[in-house]
Amino acid sequence: MIAADFLRSLLKAVPYRIHTVLTGNGIQFTNRTCNQYAFIHIFDRICAEYGIEHRLTKPKHPWMNGQVERMNRTIKEAAVKRYYYDSYDLKAHLHTFCDDL
């Protein structure tokens, strides 16, 4: 539920369309294999509602997590080098950062 709430908040906060989300195979993102005939997972329902393709990493391929961590680090470094923070206002910063891309 936390991942679904985060996705909803992210969709409200960003000024552009998200077309693809890549996640791990955890229960916060998808049903387990043994529950494949259960209801559609809430994360998948939100993705479908907004027309987002939800991709899952391959099981037992830990280097995929490394790729995600590296991208997060790249974004963080670019943001830290570009901005000085005297207060914490993520929404304003996010809009400014996206406008500069």
Q: Work out the average pLDDT over 75-96.
A: 68
98, 14 contact by CB (below 8 A): yes
Q: Which of 29, 28, 22, 31 is nearest to 61 (CA)?
A: 22
Are 45 and 72 members of one domain? no
> Average pLDDT over the chain, rounded to whole?
80
Are 56 and 9 part of one and the same domain? yes
Q: Do residues 48 and 71 share a domain?
A: no
Whole-structure pTM value: 0.61
pLDDT over 90 (residue 96): no
pLDDT tens-digit series, residues 21-51: 988 888 889 887 766 677 889 999 999 999 9
What domain count does the chain have?
A: 2
Neighbours of 43 (CB within 10 A): 23
Structural domain including 44 reads: 1-61
46 with 77, same domain: the answer is no
Same domain, 36 and 3: yes
**Same domain for 48 and 10:** yes
Q: Which residue has the higher pLDDT, 11 or 35?
A: 11
